[in-house]
Amino acid sequence: MDTAEIRRRFVAHFEYNDTVGAHTPVPSASLLLDDPNLLFVNAGMVPFKPYFLGQETPPYPRATSVQKCVRTPDIEDVGKTTRHGTFFEMCGNFSFGDYFKEGAIELAWELVTKPLADGGWGLEESRLYPSVYADDREALDLWKKVTGLPEERILRLGKKENYWSMGVPGPGGPCSEILYDRGPAYGPDFDPTALGPDMPVALEDRLLEIWNLVFMQDELSAVRSKEDFDIAGSLPKKNIDTGMGLERVAFLLQGRENMYEIDVMFPVIEKAEQLTGRRYGADHGDDVRFRVVADHVRSSMMLIADGVTPGNEARGYVLRRLLRRAVRSMRLLGYEDPALPELLPISRDKMGETYTDLHKDWDRIARVAFAEEDAFRKTLQAGTQIFDLAATEVRSSGATVLSGDKAFSLHDTYGFPIDLTLEMASEAGLTVDEQGFRSLMAEQRERAKADARAKRGQHADTGVYRAVLDEYGPTEWLAYETLETESK
C-alpha cells in the first residue's frame, strides 16, 4: 500500500467516524509556525496548542491532520536506526474536551487492526503491544476491554516514555503507545510483564513505536524535568492528542526494512546508486550514507519550500547543515559532481504528489538548494586539504586530538562549521578539542561585541537565538538544538 493511501485511510477513518463523531480534517500547517520554543513544528499538536492551552476556543470539537514535522535532535539517528527522519509526517487525531481515553484507544486500535479489505491497515494483532503509563490503571483496563488482550500483553512504562508535558507548568498527562513487534531478527526476546520503566535500547528497533496517544488530563504546577514534576489537579477539559508516524506504518505495510525504503523515499536512494555506482545493501557504512542522502534531500527540500534559506543561525543553519550533509554523504559514496540537481527532482516528484506547491515553487526551491551546494563545494575545495594536512600532522605526532586552534582556523579562514570538522575528524579516527575551539570563538565574539559597542554605543542584542548562543557557546548546531523540545 503506498504512503498516499495509508495517509488517505487515516484521514478517512477519523473524518467519517461515527463512534465518537466526525473529525474536521485540517491541512498541515507550515513547518515554520511562530513558536518561541521551537525552530520547527515537531508534532501534529503544535498548530493546535492555543486550543489545548485554553488561549483560543477551538472551532471544532474534534480534528484530524497529517502534519509536516522536522526534528533536528533526531539527525544523528538518521540512517542508523530504522525509524528516524529529520522530516516526517505525523498523522493525528485530536479531541478538545470531547471524547477521551476510551474513544482514542478504540479508534486507534480499530484502524490498525481492521483488515486491509475493509479500509484498515490489517496489522496482525499477535504482533501488537499497547503500552500504558505505569500508574494509569484506567488506561490499562480500557486496553483490556477494547482489545480483549490479556493484561500481560500490555507494557507498563515510566515517565520517560509515557508521560507527556510541555516542559513547563500547564497541561500534562499519561500516554499510551502502540508498538509493533518486528520479530527476533530485530532484537532479543522479551518478557512484556518485566519491561520498563524505560524501553530497553536493544528493543527499540524490534518493538517499533508507531502511535502515541496522549491523554491530557493533569494540570502541572511545576516541571523540573521529564520525570520530576508536580501535579496540581485535573484539567477542567480533558483533551486527546495523538501522533502516528506515517513513514513507520508505511515501511511495515510495504514490507520494507526501514523508513528510508518506502515508496516516497527509496527512488532517491536508487538515483544515488546510479550516480555513485555503488549498491545499496552491500556495505553497512554506505547504506547509512544512502539513507542520510534520502532523508536530508527530502527534509531540506521541504524546509526550503516553507521559506527557509541557508544561513549561519537558527533555522537557516539547520537547513545548511542538512544540505551539506547530503552533499558530503554523496562524496563519501564516491560522487564528486553536483549531486542536488540530480537528486532533488526525484524527491520533488514523489513528495509533489501530496505537496503540490513543490512543483509550483520549483524554480525558487532549486535555486536555493543548488546555490548552497555550489558554495559548499568551494568551501570544501579550500578547506579539505588544510584539514587533511592537519589530521596527518596530528596522527604522525602520535596524538589523536585535533587542536581547538586548528578547528578555529578552519572555521575562521575556510568557513568550516565546527560540526563538519567534528564529522571529518571522527571519520579520520580523531577527536577535536571542542573546549579550546569554544573559548577561541568566545574570545572572538567578545572582541566583535566590544567593537560593535564602540561603534554604536551600548546595544543589547535581545534575539532569542543569540541568547541561546551566548549561553551555550558557539557550537552552532548543538546550541540551536537546545531550543527543540520533543513534544511527546
Binding site for Mg ion (CB under 5 A): 209, 212, 488
Find the part of the chain contacting ligand ATP (CB under 6 A) among 204-212, 231-239, 357-365, 473-481: 204-212
What's the CA angle centered on 448, arms 445 and 453, to 5 degrees? 125
Name the residue nearer to ligand ATP (CB basis): 43 or 104: 43
Distance separating alpha carbons of residues 3 and 421, to the nearest angstrom:
37
Q: How far apart are CB 374 and Mg ion at their closest, in Å?
A: 34
Find the part of the chain contacting ligand ATP (CB under 6 A) among 238-246, 336-344, 445-453, 470-478: 238-246
Distance separating alpha carbons of residues 393 and 399, to the nearest angstrom:
9
For residue 71, state whether it binds ligand ATP (rule: CB under 6 A). yes
For residue 298, state whether it binds ligand ATP (rule: CB under 6 A). no
Q: How far apart are CB 407 and ligand ATP at their closest, in Å?
A: 29
How many CB atoms lie under 10 A from the CB of residue 167? 16
Find the part of the chain contacting ligand ATP (CB under 6 A) among 15-23, 208-216, 406-414, 453-461: 208-216
Q: Which residue is listed with cell 483496563?
A: 141
Q: How many CA atoms lie within 13 A of 305 on its CB side?
A: 24
For residue 210, state whether it binds ligand ATP (rule: CB under 6 A). yes
Q: Which of 211, 229, 260, 317 binds ligand ATP (CB under 6 A)?
A: 211
For residue 243, state whether it binds ligand ATP (rule: CB under 6 A). yes
Q: How far apart are CB 211 and ligand ATP at their closest, in Å?
A: 6
Q: How far apart are CB 174 and ligand ATP at their closest, in Å?
A: 13
Q: Give the dihedral sign, CA 353/355/360/365.
A: negative
Name the residue nearer to ligand ATP (CB basis): 171 or 243: 243
Q: How far apart are CB 309 and Mg ion at their closest, in Å?
A: 27
For residue 369, state whether it binds ligand ATP (rule: CB under 6 A). no
Single-letter code of the amino acid located at 41: V
Name the residue nearer to ligand ATP (CB basis): 179 or 479: 179
Find the part of the chain contacting ligand ATP (CB under 6 A) among 83-91, 279-287, 360-368, 388-396: 83-91
Q: Which does 39 bind (CB under 5 to 8 A by kind): ligand ATP, Mg ion, none?
A: none
Q: Which residues between 157 and 176 bind ligand ATP (CB under 6 A)?
A: none
Please answer whether residues 187 and 202 qualify as being in contact, where contact means their C-beta atoms are separated by less than 8 angstroms.
yes
Distance separating alpha carbons of residues 447 and 445, to the nearest angstrom:
5
Q: What is the dihedral of CA 47, 51, 54, 57, to 10 degrees?
A: 130
Name 4's bridge partners: none
Q: Which residue is nearest to Mg ion (CB)?
A: 212
Please answer whether residues 423 and 432 qualify as being in contact, where contact means their C-beta atoms are separated by less than 8 angstroms.
no
Q: How far apart are CB 439 and ligand ATP at their closest, in Å?
A: 33
Q: How far apart are CB 70 and ligand ATP at their closest, in Å?
A: 9
Q: How far apart are CB 210 and ligand ATP at their closest, in Å?
A: 5
Q: Which of 67, 147, 212, 300 binds ligand ATP (CB under 6 A)?
A: 212
Q: What is the dihedral of CA 188, 193, 196, 202, to 10 degrees?
A: 10
Name the residue nearer to ligand ATP (CB basis): 136 or 373: 136
For residue 79, state whether it binds ligand ATP (rule: CB under 6 A). no
Q: Which residue is listed with cell 532484537?
A: 187
- Produce one character per residue of 86-121: b if its CB has 16 or more CB atoms within 10 Å, e if not: bbbbbbbbbbbbbbbbbbbbbbbbbbbbbeeeeeeb
Q: Which of 106, 136, 181, 209 binds ligand ATP (CB under 6 A)?
A: 209
Q: What would you report as the CA-atom Rg of the chain, rounded to the nearest whole angstrom?
A: 24
Name the residue nearer to ligand ATP (CB basis): 79 or 243: 243
Q: Which residue is nearest to ligand ATP (CB)?
A: 245
Q: How many residues bind ligand ATP (CB under 6 A)?
A: 19
Name 181's bridge partners: 207
Q: How far apart are CB 238 and ligand ATP at their closest, in Å?
A: 19
For residue 247, state whether it binds ligand ATP (rule: CB under 6 A). yes
Q: Which of 289, 298, 321, 488 binds ligand ATP (CB under 6 A)?
A: 488
Helix axes 340-351, 314-332, angle to 10 degrees: 110
Q: Which residues between 88 and 107 bind ligand ATP (CB under 6 A)?
A: 88, 90
Distance separating alpha carbons of residues 222 and 243, to the nearest angstrom:
25
SS3 198: coil
How many Å separate Cα 323 from the centre of its chain? 16
Q: Which of 192, 245, 310, 404 binds ligand ATP (CB under 6 A)?
A: 245
Q: Which residues between 424 and 463 bind ligand ATP (CB under 6 A)?
A: none
Q: Which does 298 bind (CB under 5 to 8 A by kind): Mg ion, ligand ATP, none?
A: none
Give the phi and the psi of residue 285 in degrees, each rounded to 5.
-60, -45
Q: How many CA atoms lie within 13 A of 468 on its CB side?
A: 19
For residue 261, state whether it binds ligand ATP (rule: CB under 6 A). no
Distance separating alpha carbons of residues 481 and 63, to the nearest angstrom:
30
Distance separating alpha carbons of residues 231 and 331, to the nearest angstrom:
52
Single-letter code of the amino acid located at 431: T
Hey, what's the cell of 31? 513547518
Binding-site ranges for ligand ATP (CB under 6 A):
43, 71, 74, 83-85, 88, 90, 209-212, 243-245, 247-248, 486, 488
